[in-house]
Amino acid sequence: MQAFQSPRQIHPATAGSKYEYYEQAFDRNIGFLTPGEQERLHEAVVAIPGLGGAGGAHVAAMARLGIGRFHLADLDRFEVVNINRQHGARAGTFGRPKCEVLAEEARAINPFVALKVFEEGVTAENIDAFLEGVDVVIDGMDFFNIEIRRLIFLRAWEKRIHVVTAGPIGFGSAFMVFAPDRGMTFDRYFDLHDDMSVEEKLIAFFVGLVPKAAHKAYTLPGSINMAEQRGPSLGAGCQLCAAVAAAEVVRILLGKPELRPAPYYFQFDPFARRFVQGRLWFGNRGPLQRLKRWLMKAKMSGQSEYLLEPRPKVEAPSALVGGPLTAQVRDYLMKAAIRAPSGDNCQPWRYAQQADAIHLMVDPAADGSFFNVAQAASLISCGAAVENLVLAASRFGMAAAVAVSAADGNAQVRVDLSPGTLCEDPLQRFVWERHTNRTLYDGSPLEPNHRLKIQAAIRPFQQAELLLLSEPQQIREAAQLVAGIDRIRAEHRGLHTHLMRMIRFSIQEARERRDGFFLKNLEAGRAGEWFIRCTRPWPVMRTLNHLGMGRMISGISRQGILSASAVGMLKVPSVLPEDLIAGGRALERIWLTVASLGLAFQPMTAATLFWLRWQLGGQGDFSPAHRRLLKDLWPRYQRLFGVTHESEGHVMLFRVGKGRPVGCRTLRKPLASFRLPWPFEASCRDGAAGGTPEPAQAAGSIKQAFGR
């Protein structure tokens, strides 16, 4: 602990006695406060444990209110991660103790302020010294420091000290007062007991602090994780905490009426435009609060329906110093690469390292689906992985030279990495955020500047062409086209069987397999999930198709297109491997750009892959009824997407718009499962026997079918 005396030397503009300074500095408070009340604030002692997001704002708000004495405690130092919300966090304070910086802040506002600073934080050993002579405590502790918080509230109650707690929740603040002479104690209100786990205590604290959850409407799914002790926080919410806490401190110190201690609760959220207040007569012991705690625990535990994979951590750019590519950086680059999309998340990539070069290739055995005709889908996915790798390399300033070879029909991409001074590509950050959003979009028009940015995404790939359809009539035509094609998806046995094989029907299976996709990822709702489970056996689905279920399912796809702001088609000159790989790179840049604009994206792959199979002579792979349907649809397809020659490559049809956030995403297998030793054997490169079956009438490979 350090005690700071009020300095006598101040700026010439404020020269004079302490009282002369007070008269001028806090003159504008008079009118809402009387001079006598202002004097009481000058003499008051306010303790603030925790000087982070809310705590630092409390110090500034209290100092400007005229509080003359503080006890400040925090053992932490400022870091870059604090910059979005913490009052003392600035480029010049990184690495400095928060206590030291906030003490300077308080003195800069009031040169005569009296401070006691506890740089070791609040502990069981110093808590009595921290609370000695204190009039009010304002809780600024980190949300997850539940045990120290309990100790502070207990000792404050024993010493007959009021405590105000104000937590930043989104743009708003949830706040409560705990009084020593009435109401409930902290542990009694939140129903906290020593035999509870840390996670149970944190859930109880959260549920009791925000019984009405005004922030819920805009909180992203899965963003709060009690087990990992992480959650989002906004600077606006921290500032609002300081405002509401200041009001309650004044009420307590000046004996103003309407003090409502726990079990009263309050939450104000300006973004949700809600102010809620109430009284939990039994605190968290009430039946409704118990139910909320149980539900939250189920979501936060292993039964959680959210799947998110965090960005891997790596030092940059010092991790690369001009020598050979380090294993740490290589692994970071490859983890970025495998965040690429692939058909039903089959992850059809293999890679090998040769000094400062990384070789990527398709694993033909990874995807044997009807969709992956002549490995076209896997080649596109490989291109997306290459683009992710190139973008991730820019984080380290590395230059990446990409070369594609397709000898003997085996496509391979070599990425040569070299130290450089490249600026980080802003899309690099969104490699870890890109995902498929299958929700209904809001149908709002695509903003002109968004269109320009999406179109500009393919600029590095001159051979790529992007059509963005946004006129209502065009979107309606695309909806009818996609609905017809998706009817085939529902009625085709091979496609149905493959889909059911790739769905992970439990969260445990999704986490263990780390491929395919969890059922929740389909955004089908409870009724839709029940239907999918019931129709897993093909005989059940076939029977329902006879009753018209295929047409009903295709209607869902139609509604999805109709809700979009735009429908896009990405094309390349041919379906040769090098063009499809380049198309995959362009596709990934489009998708990442869409993510950076805060828009949703969903691939509609059936149309383009059915078209390719048809052009490769695979008409016989469809039933007679489906052949007739496709023959009727293809003229509309060619007209809508400006097909100039049948051999052009169609990389992806997709929809873009504003959709609600989703919290369930796909996982990736361990990096080691994709790695090949160098030099690698041709047998490894070519994959196991029994890869993707080619259409019966196809020439055997894309290159033979569409050779230049």
pLDDT tens, residue by residue, 35-77:
999 999 999 999 999 999 999 999 999 999 999 999 999 999 9
Burial of 501 (0-12, 13-18, 19+ CB in 10 A): exposed
Model pLDDT, residue 12: 44
Amino acid identity, position 459 = R
The distance between the two most distant Cα atoms of the chain, rounded to a whole number of Å, is 97
Report the topology of domain 2-300.
Rossmann fold (3.40.50)
CA distances from 241 to 62, 65, 87, 175, 267 (A): 12, 15, 12, 8, 10
pLDDT tens readout for residues 231-288: 889 999 999 999 999 999 999 999 999 999 999 999 999 999 999 999 999 999 999 9
DSSP strand pairing (357-362 vs 399-405): unpaired
Question: Which of 44 and 220 is assigned the larger pLDDT?
Answer: 44
Amino acid identity, position 577 = P
Strands in 391-453 per DSSP E: 399-405, 412-418
Mean pLDDT lowest among 16-25, 220-229, 646-655, 657-666: 220-229
Model pLDDT, residue 167: 92
List the chain domain ranges: 2-300, 327-705
Report the topology of domain 327-705.
NADH Oxidase (3.40.109)
131 pLDDT above the threshold of 60: yes
pLDDT tens readout for residues 366-419: 999 999 988 999 999 999 999 999 999 998 888 899 999 987 667 899 999 988
Model pLDDT, residue 662: 87
The first and second tokens of residue 300, run together, are 């936060």
Q: pLDDT tier at 703 (50, 70, 90 boundaries)? A: very low
Mean pLDDT lowest among 10-24, 405-419, 519-533: 10-24
Model pLDDT, residue 701: 46
Q: How far apart, in whole angstroms, are the C-alpha atoms of residue 610 and residue 616?
A: 10
pLDDT tens readout for residues 623-678: 999 999 999 999 999 999 999 887 899 999 999 999 999 878 999 999 999 999 88
pLDDT tens readout for residues 190-199: 999 999 999 8
The mean predicted confidence, pLDDT, of the chain is: 89
Q: pLDDT tier at 700 (50, 70, 90 boundaries)? A: very low
For residues 122 and 73, is the Cβ–Cβ distance under 8 A? yes
Q: How far apart, in whole angstroms, are the C-alpha atoms of residue 360 and residue 383?
A: 9
Bond into 679 cis (ω within 30): yes
Residues constituting the chain: 708
Q: What is the DSSP string of 523-577?
A: --HHHHHHHHHHT-SHHHHHHHHHTTHHHHHHHHHHHHHHT-SEEEEEEES--SH
The first and second tokens of residue 678, run together, are 């160098």
Alpha helices in 49-139 (DSSP H): 53-65, 98-109, 127-131
Q: Which of 223-232, 386-395, 551-560 has the highest mean pLDDT?
A: 386-395
Residue range 316-339: mean pLDDT, rounded? 76
Model pLDDT, residue 222: 73
Model pLDDT, residue 300: 66
For residues 191 and 282, is the Cβ–Cβ distance under 8 A? no
For residues 525 and 669, is the Cβ–Cβ distance under 8 A? no
Mean pLDDT lowest among 99-113, 306-320, 564-578: 306-320
